[in-house]
Structure 1
Amino acid sequence: MSEILKERFVVFIDILGFGAMVRQAARDPDGDMANRLAAALKVIEDLGQSRGDIVFPSKSNSDFHSHAFSDCIVMSVVPSAEVVAELFVVLAKLTLDLMKIGVWIRGGMSHGLISKTRTTPWGPAIVEAYEVESKLAINPRIAMGKSAVEFVNRAATGVQKDDRLVRDDDGVWSLEPFVWVRSDAREKLPYLTKEKARRIKSELESAHEGVVDSPRIFSKIEWLRERWDSQLKPKDGVPIFDCRTELGIEQDSIEDWVTAFETAFKGED
């Protein structure tokens, strides 16, 4: 066994559009964007400084490591199916907590070797996670590299991944951050509450309206808005509330029109 490297499941995350947010905050140091950035970085900093027994209270064997710098955070845990499944929940909570204040994140996941040191982590698995974030994820999602997909397929059960991971239209596997819409919505105290969902909806709408000079950023917000709407649409009473954006509500009208059209012409050549 190496004295320097060890096998870990790794996540690299950063804030989408951080540079533009900093420039906007600099123009008004006491304004909304400066406060928003400070709040987001505090969330990331707190997670970066947290002990494993706090982040994973039910998993004493997580050996959780984290290192935050600027708008980025690197996290790693032991490559155990149970611990990695709990890590997905931690990442989903982080995604929702930041969306609530209008901050979107992107990340990459990998499985492999990293250094044993906590202070300055390095290793091929960190390089892979960074490259997945910067080259594969593209949209505001936490994408899985090939090594992460292989680990999950080999080690995890259906219960540990079915409601936590999704394969997107481009073939990339990523975290499903709105897991509580399906799996936790019937609990008495779901993490994605109606109040939190309303705030996220408001931030998505505001970002969609506010991005007028960056087609690249606009396409990412549009992607996230569509993802949000697809999961927040009530189905069989889950969730018990509807906090989709206007795009999602409008989609209902389109679907109703298509259904009515198909019904009216059913059976005709």
Structure 2
Amino acid sequence: MDIQKYDQERPTLVNSIVCAIDILGFSQMINTSCKEGYGSTLLREVNYLINKNKECIIPNKYSHGKIKIFTDNMVVGYPITGDGERELEEILDNVSEYQFNLAIEGLFVRGGVSIGDFYINEDIVFGPALLDAHKVESTLACYPRIILDEKTIRTLKKHIKYYDVAPQATKVLIDSDGQWFLNYLNTIFRYYTQCNNEYEFERVKYELLLKHKTKIEEMLHMYKQNIRVWDKYVWTANYHNYFCDIYFAHEKDLKIHKNLLLSWPREIKNNDL
């Protein structure tokens, strides 16, 4: 079976799995940092984090995926060979890891995944799969989640049916609005190979989730007066708590307190007058 690639000399559309990702609130971060005099500092920090973590998208020389980053947007494409199971697995694993690594640094992303004709090189990204992935990101993702479109869901369902216990099943969740999204917190279970023993693995998982919790709480406090943005981090907090309930039910300190997730009314005070 011929391996599909993006021909850098003779551009040709290739059937691909494509993911479009956007950093949440990045425009506001730019405006605020430049007005308050730390724009260059933010630029260096974001440049470092993105370049450090983009390696997990194309982790080795055997991957035929390509990546393009411009300001707060990233597009990644994997040319499909065969039934696309390996390429979709790369999206589920590698993009989730990228999303998780940025989240624990305080950069939350949303995105969309689609399947179709696509091309990418150093200068251009092109094709209907890009448009579809971007449409899902801009119209359906809404919260810090990476959504699978209907074509991707149909493909994933076929792959899941191959198995009695499908390895993909825990890597995607179905939200209350019916959207399928990457379960990026599942990334913590991939750290096992980097640990010396089970005790160290448990400690690493705990510390990573604690970092995730801390960053969400920072965002909830930061945007308390901006209800539209605050609501996005309420969603993220609920996702975090759901994950902890499933896998760390006895670690109560990993969960975000419900008081941070509610907007309580209050009586009028003298200083309100």
User: TM-score by structure 2 length?
Assistant: 0.76
Q: Which residue of structure 2 aligns with residue 89 of structure 1?
A: 93
- 1:62-73 to 2 correspondences below 5 Å: 62-73=63-74
Q: Which residue of structure 2 aligns with residue 134 of structure 1?
A: 138
Deviates more, 1:116-125 or 1:66-75: 116-125
Cα shift at 1:193: 2.8
Q: Take 2:86 and 2:108, find their aligned partners in 1: how far apart are those partners?
A: 27
Q: Take 1:225 and 1:37, find their aligned partners in 2: how far apart are those partners?
A: 27
Cα shift at 1:118: 4.7
Contact 1:13–1:133 (8 Å) recurs in 2? yes
Cα shift at 1:213: 3.1
Q: Which residue of structure 2 aligns with residue 253 of structure 1?
A: none
Q: Which residue of structure 2 aligns with residue 56 of structure 1?
A: 59
Q: Take 2:223 and 2:98, find their aligned partners in 1: how far apart are those partners?
A: 23
Q: Which residue of structure 1 aligns with residue 254 of structure 2?
A: 243
Question: Identical aligned pairs, as a percentage?
Answer: 21
Q: Which residue of structure 1 aligns with residue 180 of structure 2?
A: 173
Q: Which residue of structure 2 aligns with residue 153 of structure 1?
A: 157
SS in 1 for 2:116: strand
Structure 1 pair 36–202 and aligned structure 2 pair: CA distance change class (3 A): farther
CA RMSD of aligned residues (A): 3.3
Q: Which residue of structure 2 aligns with residue 255 of structure 1?
A: none
Q: Take 2:259 and 2:113, find their aligned partners in 1: how far apart are those partners?
A: 29
Structure 1 pair 138–238 and aligned structure 2 pair: CA distance change class (3 A): same
Q: Which residue of structure 2 aligns with residue 27 of structure 1?
A: 35
Cα shift at 1:139: 0.9
Give 2:139's aligned amino acid: K
Contact 2:18–2:77 (8 Å) recurs in 1? yes
Contact 1:234–1:242 (8 Å) recurs in 2? no
5+ residue gaps in structure 2?
5-9, 262-273
Q: Deviations over 1:50-70 (max 9, x none)?
A: 597xx334x82x311100000
Structure 1 pair 200–83 and aligned structure 2 pair: CA distance change class (3 A): same
SS in 2 for 1:112: strand
Residue of structure 1 aligned with 2:214, choices 179, 202, 211: 202
Q: Take 2:251 and 2:90, find their aligned partners in 1: how far apart are those partners?
A: 25
Q: Take 1:77 and 1:181, find their aligned partners in 2: how far apart are those partners?
A: 23
Q: Which residue of structure 2 aligns with residue 162 of structure 1?
A: 169
Q: Which residue of structure 2 aligns with residue 256 of structure 1?
A: none
Residue of structure 2 aligned with 1:120, choices 115, 124, 133: 124
Contact 1:226–1:248 (8 Å) recurs in 2? no
Q: How many residues align?
A: 243
Q: Which residue of structure 2 aligns with residue 11 of structure 1?
A: 19
Q: Deviations over 1:120-140 (max 9, x none)?
A: 111000000000000011111
Deviates more, 1:77-86 or 1:63-72: 77-86
Q: Deviations over 1:225-261 (max 9, x none)?
A: 01101101365x67878522122999xxxxxxxxxxx
Question: Are 1:105 and 2:112 matched, yes or no?
Answer: no
Structure 1 pair 171–23 and aligned structure 2 pair: CA distance change class (3 A): same
Q: Take 1:192 and 1:78, find their aligned partners in 2: how far apart are those partners?
A: 34
Cα shift at 1:87: 2.5
SS in 1 for 2:69: strand
Give 1:66's aligned amino acid: I
Give 1:56's aligned amino acid: P
Cα shift at 1:212: 2.9
- 1:31-46 to 2 correspondences below 5 Å: 35=41, 38-46=44-52
User: TM-score by structure 1 length?
Assistant: 0.77
Cα shift at 1:189: 3.9
Q: Deviations over 1:181-225 (max 9, x none)?
A: 678779654796322222221111111111133211111010000
